[in-house]
Amino acid sequence: MTFKTLFALNVAKVPTIDQINDIGREYPTRECKYQEEKHWGFKPFEGKAGTSEEYVTPLNNGRWLHLQISLFKPMLPAAVVRRHVDARIKELTEERGEAPGSKEKREIKEQVRQSLLPKAFQTESVYQVVFDKNTKQLWLEVTSEALQTDILRLLRRCLGSVSVTPLFDSSNLPSKFAAWVAGTSDLPSGFRVGDSAKAIDPNDPKATITLSHEALMEPDIQTVLETRMLKQLGLESANISAVINDQSFLKSIKLSVDTSDADADRDHMMTLWATEISELLAALSADIGATEMPNNQDSETYDTTSDQL
């Protein structure tokens, strides 16, 4: 399974295969218990139980370490919670002769949520993670800072310490996007402007223009974009295309080869994908790479005695 989205980080040190398997067996994925509203854990690879690849798949002679992190969350539809809350408020109103105040209504809602959690169906979301030993990078299949924070928190609690910094400098990306589109700045080596973009009016952020399957280099479109701030931009090369936003998240990643082919070898296709991603990240880093690097880890081994999430 390849990533469609990605956030890249520099990492001070890459854990070993044994370390990842150890924490995977100690902190496996599972459904939420009791009043838990979410649970993060490591998901084993199918058919690999009891092997050295149970929780991590080494690719390209161990250069890339591929693992899966799973999030379980109970499903509590708002309509269901509201129905139970309304019933409880009605019951109290009839008992007292007056409706509960706003503070008590909030307390009732929380009580209802807690009572429903153990009975709720649960959803599982699986996020791919890759460590690149050659470049000391960490790739996360996320599109939000909240998900990034949760996954890093899990890794840090299990490994003891994971020092990271963003791979890209996102402080002035809208200006960089504009320069690429206008042709006043060289694009990353081997890449050209794609056919998608999102822009806002600086004076009215709600006025958003989303362009898809458009020739962004056409004069008419450039005239429109000149008066707006680019929030994301599509880039493409002969082998890969992606959209990068102003927070340096990569989205809509596509390879010229179909890596989802059910008949293809999974590890081979993942290796092909990782090779192309590495070239994309290297090209972007040469242009927008961050200068801050993570602090080196003091210990040669990770502490895996952290509490269960």
Are residues 64 and 3 in contact, defined by beta-carbon separation less than 8 angstroms? Answer: no
pLDDT single digits (tens) 239-258: 999 999 999 999 999 998 76
CA distance 63 to 65: 7
pLDDT single digits (tens) 79-138: 998 999 999 999 999 999 999 999 999 999 989 988 888 888 999 999 999 999 999 999
CA distance 138 to 131: 5
Residue 173 tokens read as 């990306």
User: Which of 26-30, 102-106, 203-207, 243-247 has the weakest average pLDDT?
Assistant: 203-207
Measured CA distances, 188 to 114, 283, 285 (Å):
51, 5, 8
Q: Is the pLDDT of residue 304 over 70?
A: no
CA distance 238 to 192: 9
Give the model's pLDDT for residue 76.
85
CA distance 26 to 20: 10
- Which residue reads 């269901």 in tokens? 80
Give the model's pLDDT for residue 224.
84
Confidence of residue 305 (pLDDT cuts 50, 70, 90): very low
Beta strand segments in the chain, E? 7-11, 39-43, 57-59, 64-74, 122-132, 137-140, 164-166, 192-201, 204-211, 229-236, 240-245, 250-255
Confidence of residue 259 (pLDDT cuts 50, 70, 90): low
Mean pLDDT estimate for the chain: 89
The residue ranges of every structural domain in the chain are 7-74+121-166, 78-118, 173-288
- Percent of the chain at pLDDT > 90 equals 70
Please give the average per-residue pLDDT across 218-223, as a whole number: 86
Give the model's pLDDT for residue 307.
38
From the number of C-beta atoms within 10 Å of its C-beta (0-12, 13-18, 19+), residue 131 rates as: buried
